[in-house]
Amino acid sequence: STYVCRIQIKGMTCTSCSTTVESALQAVPGVLKARVALATEEAEIQYDPKVISYNQLIEAVQDTGFEGILIS
């Protein structure tokens, strides 16, 4: 089974920023799909909760240098 979560991302100012975060999330084991929208400052991530937790997803966002906040 898979879960979907959203993470608010602060500090992105250009599409290169959002692509950086999106690519980083897509490379994380357990992530099936990740989209990052610059306009809404949100990531939507489909993931396998047996492999990764949403706290670890937020950490993956923080590792790119942007601030990630769980919203749902």
Interacting residues with ligand 9UX (CB under 6 A) = 13-14, 16-17
| 14/29 with CB nearer ligand 9UX | 14
Helix count and strand count (H, E) for the chain: 2, 4
The least CB distance from residue 18 to ligand 9UX, in Å, is 8
The least CB distance from residue 56 to ligand 9UX, in Å, is 23
The least CB distance from residue 14 to ligand 9UX, in Å, is 4
* H or E segment and range at residue 46: strand 42-47
- Alpha-carbon torsion, ordered 42, 40, 12, 24, to 10 deg: 30
